[in-house]
Amino acid sequence: MALSALLATFLCTIVLPVLLFLVAVKLWEVYTIRGRDPGCPSPLPPGSMGLPFIGETLQLILQRRKFLRMKRQKYGYVYRTHLFGSPTVRVSGADNVRQILLGEHKLVSAQWPASVRAILGSDTLSNLHGAQHKTKKKAMMRAFSREALELYIPIIQEEVRAAVDGWLATDPCTLVYPEMKRLMFRIAMRILLGFEPEQIQRDQQQLVEAFEEMIKNLFSLPIEVPFSGLYRGLKARNFIHSKIEENIKKKVQESDTGSNHRDALQQLIDSSKQSGEPFSMQAIKESATELLFGGHETTASTATSLLMFLGLNPEAVDKLRQELKDKEEQGIDIHSLNIERLEQLKYTECVIKETLRLNPPVPGGFRVALKTFKLGGYQIPKGWNVIYSICDTHDVAEIFPNKEDFQPERFMAKPPADSSRFQYIPFGGGSRMCVGKEFAKVLLKVLLVEVVTKCHWTLLNGPPTMKTGPTVYPVDNLPTKFTSYAQNSV
């Protein structure tokens, strides 16, 4: 009797729950692939849909790039999964990505996860379509024109120089990633949103903390209950909106002074007035928040990666300094920068390109299938999410030999004529290519000029472990010792 009771207890407490779990997983797999189109002869992509309800979202959040590489190695360039509440197909490789990026409005449409749409809002450039997307993009592009960028350079130099001086005065070390986020946040607030330095100084700490909380919860399960990721993200977003609204009201009330300096926020306000539609404070706030994310988070990520790769490759720093020395000998004043002088820094631009190849700040983009279509021999069912991977596409690009090595020189030569332009896509592609890419390039070039002419730096922990959440960053914040370059060159 005792043995029978023990066996029954074992079956009830161990075996039965395991069997029920396995059945639940199988039913979940069947349920999540119900969208397969029976009219399409091609099979679904290989892959796994993960655990019931949460899919493979937790693995992605915890492992990020390691998880993505493992999946690609196991299933190839096109595979299925279940992320952020939706069945998803992840795509990499130039030919596959080309089909997705050029298939906008025909095969796919931009659609970020529900948590991103809830936090950033429905009136952001990334979530608009058709004529609305075209109109808003045109307004933003005016803020990133060549003339506008020329006006931004003195402000960028002012902020970068102040930051570099602070790093040189810090002892014993500087945590580069948090410092870059603060620097890029100040630049974005001044240039993109038109905040005055005094405003930023007063509200910076609260805004930075709120922004960090919003970004941390941007990609979360779409469940809004107290203390959930989405709940915390929305709460932080509301605080940011309250501060931006103050600035919008101020701009709306101010008369036009005739100044040529027109920040991106002012361009959006003017465009809204010219459209003839009722002014929407909510729409402007959402667009401003998106600008702040795009103009601060991604540039901070790339700026940190720049100093990391250069710290690990001092020969590249020597070449940067030599390029600047050569320009000075040609009579070009590198201490008074403008667009034309920045464009002449070819090796500097190659360093930025190589950094973006190895560590693209945004790992990919989100789409939704408008209809069932074939990709790489598989069917992509209508309604499924599609993620095109930037980092994986760079990893497998055939035009880059010795992919793991930091070699800026590879970009000095023009790529072969028959190579696919979709093998290198740090700013995305198609109609939704990043509108601020030229702004980012100018900002990063100014940063490099200031840092290499003034600083020598050493990474105190060596090569860091990189994670993504949602942009690429070093888990140790990249502790670095900065000293005067003049001091070290004596």
**Annotated binding residues for heme, as ranges?**
434
Interstrand relation of 78-83 and 108-110 (parallel, antiparallel or unpaired):
unpaired
Please report, as a single letter, which amino acid is at residue 379.
Q
CA 467 to chain centroid: 12
Copy the structure tokens of residue 279. 């002014």
The angle subtended at Cα 92 by Cα 89 and Cα 94, nearest 5°, is 135
Burial-class residue 391 by CB neighbours within 10 Å (0-12, 13-18, 19+).
buried
Burial-class residue 436 by CB neighbours within 10 Å (0-12, 13-18, 19+).
buried
Instruction: Give the integer Cα–Cα distance in Å for 121 and 124.
Output: 6
Name the strand (E) or helix (H) holding 331: none
Place of tokens 């100014």: 446
Place of tokens 């903390």: 209
> Three-state secondary structure along 185-225?
HHHHHHHCCCCCHHHHHHHHHHHHHHHHHHHHCCCCCCCCC
Instruction: Give the integer Cα–Cα distance in Å for 116 and 126.
Output: 10
Instruction: Give the integer Cα–Cα distance in Å for 253 and 248.
Output: 9
Judged by DSSP in three states, 425 sits in coil
> By the 8 A CB rule, do 435 and 114 touch?
no
Q: Is the peptide bond before 463 cis (omega within 30 degrees of 0)?
A: no
Query: Smallest Cα–Cα separation from 441: which of 363, 326, 345?
Result: 345
Q: Buried b / exposed e across 294-333, counting CB within 10 Å, b at 16+? A: bbbbbbbbbbbbbbbbbbebeebbebbeebbeebeeeeee
Copy the structure tokens of residue 398. 């055939």
Copy the structure tokens of residue 474. 């070093």
